[in-house]
Amino acid sequence: MTAIPALDVVELSKTYASGVQALKGISLRVEAGDFFALLGPNGAGKSTLIGILSSLVNPTAGDARIFGVSIRTQRSAAMALIGLVPQEINLNQFEKPIEICVNQAGFYGIARPIALERAERYLRELQLWDKAQQQVRTLSGGMKRRLMIARAMMSEPRLLILDEPTAGVDIEIRRSMWKFISAINAAGTTVILTTHYLEEAEQLCRNIAIIDHGRIIEHTSMRKLLATLDTETFVLDLGAAPAQLPFVAGVRLHALDAQTIEAEVARSSDLNSLFATLSAAGITVRSMRNKTNRLEELFVRLVENGKQVA
Amino acid sequence: MNAQALSIAFNTIARREVSRILRIWTQTLLPSAITMTLYFVIFGTLVGSRIGEMAPGIGYIDYIVPGLIMMAVITNSYGNISSSFFSAKFQHYVEEMLASPTPPWVILSGYVVGALLRGLIVALIVLAISLLFTHIQLHHPWVTLTTILLTSIVFSLAGFINAVFAKKFDDIALVPTFVLTPLTYLGGVFYSVNALGAPWRQISYANPILYMVNAFRYGLLGISDLPLWQAYAVMLGFAVVLSALALFLIARGVGLRS
């Protein structure tokens, strides 16, 4: 018997009053406990899908079930299972973080003493406890984003949906958010993440769907998707300008400038032979980095292919 | 959600509304106190002393007290819910409730109770101010209480519907300026509808505020231009129709969901 998925989207469509068809009958399944990336270019339909799942957008056709509970026929029960961190900051600017968290719990029918206890726990974990009594309008953008995560956690949802939670947040705070969300996922909460930081998705997520023009164009595991990448490009900083670049089987080398070269390495090849050849040619490599994130390369290719097909 | 969870959700919304009213009391409570004091001084004391008695033993200042209280209740109930709910829409934090398991009727009830409480607090403030100018003897406590509650509910619901349809702050100022204020002034606050000739008297009967003011005046002073049952029929009728409309709008997500 198959376990009940955290999310089961069936033939979901949305056409706005303006005539824009944001979702074209998509189907999607996210297993319980997964850390799932939902990626796509701007305007692909990600936020519409998330809006429908959180009952902020009315679907035109189809259904979605959260742990088997339909958002169309059992809205209230389905919403009790979801926590949402929206893309846009939607906090009451004149309330305090503690009030926002406790009120949020109230909307889920959670008693005030429990709500106060949870609010303290999540605000502390997200390094906001010292701001608990300040009006939201005095908080920085990063703090507001963390507060929206704390707010979403107040109902301790089984499915947490994060719509670009780290947009515009500095790397230090972003990393602390990753750590928090990973811990939430490890504790059993299913997480769906949309982000434009693809290294974030690659690092955190186990499965992935790419949506474009209202359709799912890829739905697989992160490992399988990355395995389809037939080449990987590295940038090598050299100790000195080489007289000539050597030939390496399975690797295409070309100079970016006098002391920097780019190496496009086929999946069938390996880095040991590249370094051995460079070393034999008297070329010293001081440092090496990926030219782009691997997922980024695949993402761009898939979306470009989608455009050509369209 | 079970009954306990529903009551927690309801209390959360009502508590948030009351907290907002008290936090910005200079915008929610103080203006009515100042405006009504001016009405009592100008119309009650200065002008009223020249008008004389409106009914045996009832001076002009006594006559306008119920109308002024109702005026304050109407504008504050309407204004509270329209500005609060529209702010929630404008800043998008209405999504906290819309994406939660809280059903539409609980959201509506919480907001209406918040507006009702502001209406009642303002009514008590205006009543207290009136006692500085005159002496009021309560004639029918239950009529007074039920009239003020029903009136506040009716205008809270109307304010809520206004906020649902509003797209900018101007939209929630239009109805109070161009509809509520004229209807209130023409609703028998300062005069008896019996003093009007045809066709103004007949036209006045189409104004629901006339019935509310007269029912409240009956409760406080024991006099009314209209039968009490008509006033209750109008208030209950509006309460039922507007409740149904407001619930329909939230459930369908009109102005709230894409």
Q: In chain A, which residues have their Cβ closer than 8 Å to the Cβ of B102?
A: 76, 107-109
For chain B, where are the E strands, in sequence order?
53-55, 58-59
Beta bridge partners of A28: A9
The residues on A that touch B, with CB distances below 8 Å, are 16, 48, 51, 54-58, 75-77, 79-80, 82, 84, 86, 88, 90-94, 99, 102-104, 106-112, 151, 155
DSSP A138: G
Close Cβ partners of A200 (under 8 Å, ≥ 6 residues apart) = A166, A174, A178, A193
ipTM for this prediction: 0.87
Q: Is A10 strand, coil or helix?
A: strand
Q: In chain A, which residues have their Cβ closer than 8 Å to the Cβ of B5?
A: 108-110
Place A293 in a pLDDT band, splitting at 50, 70 and 90: low
- Give residue A310's pLDDT: 52
CA distance A262 to A290: 10
Q: In chain B, which residues have their Cβ closer than 8 Å to the Cβ of A90?
A: 91-93, 95-96
CA distance B206 to B233: 13
CA distance B221 to B127: 13
- Give residue A15's pLDDT: 95
Tell me if B183 sits within 8 A of B210, measured CB to CB.
Answer: no
CA distance B136 to B62: 7
Beta bridge partners of A290: A234
Q: Which strand (E) or helix (H) includes residue A159?
A: strand A159-163
Cβ of A109 within 8 Å of Cβ of B101? The answer is yes
Cβ burial of A241 (10 Å; 0-12, 13-18, 19+) is exposed
Q: How close is the nearest chain A Cα to the Cα of B173, in Å?
A: 21
Cβ of B92 within 8 Å of Cβ of A88? The answer is yes
DSSP A243: S
Cβ of A107 within 8 Å of Cβ of B88? The answer is no
CA distance B180 to B174: 9
Q: Which residue of B has its CA nearest to A16?
A: B258
Q: Which of B23, B97, B258 sits opposite A107 (nearest CB)?
A: B97
Close Cβ partners of B53 (under 8 Å, ≥ 6 residues apart) = B59, B60
Higher local confidence (pLDDT), A169 or A107: A107
Sheet with A251-257, strands from edge to edge, namely: A251-257, A260-266, A231-238, A285-290
Give me A59's structure tokens.
């679907």
Q: How close is the nearest chain B Cα to the Cα of A82, in Å?
A: 8
Tell me if A184 sits within 8 A of A204, measured CB to CB.
Answer: no
Q: Which of A1-10, A216-225, B218-227 has the lowest mean pLDDT?
A: A216-225
258 residues of chain B, pLDDT tens digit each: 899 999 999 999 999 999 999 999 999 999 989 998 898 888 877 887 788 778 888 888 888 899 999 999 999 999 999 999 999 999 999 999 999 999 999 999 999 999 999 999 999 999 999 998 888 888 999 999 999 999 999 999 999 999 999 999 999 999 989 999 999 888 888 888 888 888 888 888 999 999 999 999 999 999 999 999 999 999 999 999 999 999 999 988 888 888
Region label for A205, one of left (φ > 0), alpha (ψ between -120 and 50) or beta (otherwise): beta
Place A307 in a pLDDT band, splitting at 50, 70 and 90: low
Give me A2's structure tokens.
């198959």
pTM metric for this prediction: 0.84
Question: Which among B6, B7, B8, B22 is the top mutation candidate for probing chain A, defined by the most A β-carbons within 10 Å of its own β-carbon?
Answer: B8
What chain A holds in terms of domains, given with CATH numbers, is 7-226 (3.40.50.300), 230-309 (3.30.70)
Q: Give the Å distances, CA to CA, from A166 to A89, A188, A194, B208, B222.
A: 12, 22, 10, 53, 65
Cβ of A76 within 8 Å of Cβ of B2? The answer is no
Tell me if A255 sits within 8 A of A245, measured CB to CB.
Answer: yes
* Chains A, B: CB pairs < 8 Å: 90
Q: Give the Å distances, CA to CA, from B77 to B32, B94, B131.
A: 12, 19, 23
Count of beta carbons in the 10 Å neighbourhood of residue A121: 15
Please check the confidence at residue A296 and state whether its pLDDT lies above 90. no
Cβ of A109 within 8 Å of Cβ of B1? The answer is yes
Close Cβ partners of B4 (under 8 Å, ≥ 6 residues apart) = A109
Q: Which residue of B has its CA nearest to A76?
A: B101
Domain segments of chain B: what residues? 3-252
